[in-house]
Chain A
Amino acid sequence: MARKSAKDANYQFNAVAIEDSLSETTQEATVSEADITAFTDEYQNALVGKANIATSLTGSYDPATGKSILTLFAAIGSGPVTTVFQPGGDATGQYSCTASGLTGALVRDLTMRFPVGDKASFTAVIQHSGATTRA
């Protein structure tokens, strides 16, 4: 058993490593289950649906060229890209969403916040379209 701190997590978007401005990454996998509970069932019952994976990013706003904000902004309207998520910071349990045809990752939304009393920050939701593989 090798338990991991998230302190060294990596996230790569369209071949650009942007973990240097990220502080939290959540990969949400839902399977849109369908309830099929019938009168004769002893317990509730469900059928498995299609996997739907999205990754939420939270981080500090870095406006430099080649960094998180402009990299994510440039992907809006530009089609699917490849993402690589390494929660433990190494290749063990690495999740990849690879761009090909309708597959790959799309920016669902990008929200930036500029409060007078705090750092500039952002959140983004990266919607996986098609298969996500685990290495």
Chain B
Amino acid sequence: MSTTIVHAKAADILLDEFDFSGLTNEVELAVNNGLADVTAFLDTDATFVEGKAGWRATVNGLWDGTGGYDAEMFTDLTATSRRLGIWPDTAAAGKRGWEGSTIVGRQPRVAPVADAVALNVDWIGDSPIMAAWSLMNANNLNSTTTGTAYNAGAAAAGETIVGVLRITEVGGAGANTLDVTIQSDDAEGFVSPTTRLTFTQVGTVVTFEMQSAAGAVADTWWRAVATYAGAGSRTYDVVVTFGIRST
């Protein structure tokens, strides 16, 4: 099997409904398994068991006092359940990335006399991180669109399916609406799809929403469907991601 080595030059960093890829330049994502040393006298060798896994992400970036990044970080300093998406090879449809719910740990603003002002943020996971799929990533969407199907696997009992909808931009004018769902099927052709997750109808404002449901789901194929309706000329920048995580 060939390798798929990734250069991080075009990573996408999504936070709630914001795309901060234009102001961030380095990410370290660390998952810790919380091992406990259970070595007993009778053991010949050191022995360990798993504890509760945890994760954190350090997102380094460039401070921008007017473009919204600094304000968004500082205003929501103590906000909870911020949805961080880390997409090392872009969040284009079909790519793999990481999605998780976070709180802020620390966010130093570093201003050295001979360098750019930096805004670095430590995000602490407050629920399991998941290896996600990007199901849809469309700019200026203005018609009903069915995304490509991807084999993201089945969800076992005890696992949770999670979908994240991000509307990062709304343009144009009118009374249009967008209804986004995530469907599954047992075959790529989607002859008899089942709607698994339904997001709140989008109107005129940028937004994000996380929807989840408990497994088990035996279907292995997943896709996003965006239904565009109403009079007007509104356009939507839409990112839909999906993953299966431990509950």
Q: Which residues of A line the B interface, CB within 8 A?
A: 20-21, 32, 50-53, 60-64, 66-67, 69-70, 73, 76-77, 79, 102-103, 106-120, 127-132
Complex CA gap A100/B31 in Å reads 24
> Chain B's nearest CB lies how many Å from the CB of A126?
10
Contact indicator B35/A111 (Cβ below 8 Å): no
B191 within 8 A of A: no
Closest approach, in angstroms, between the C-beta of A108 and any C-beta of chain B? 5
Are B44 and A131 within 8 A (Cβ)? Answer: yes
| Chain B residues, Cβ within 8 Å of A130 | 43-45, 47
Q: Which residues between 197 and 221 of chain B lie within 8 Å of chain A, taking CB atoms?
A: none
A-B contact pairs, 17 of them (CB 8 A): A20-B1, A50-B44, A50-B46, A61-B6, A62-B6, A63-B4, A69-B131, A70-B96, A76-B31, A107-B33, A108-B32, A112-B30, A118-B7, A120-B6, A120-B11, A128-B45, A130-B44
A115 to B49 alpha-carbon distance, docked (Å): 33
Please name all residues of chain A whose beta carbon is closer than 8 Å to the beta carbon of B86 when the two chains form the complex.
114
- Interface residue from A67, A77, A128 paired with B33 (Cβ < 8 Å): A77
B193 close to chain A: CB less than 8 A: no
**Contact (Cβ within 8 A) B48 A112:** no
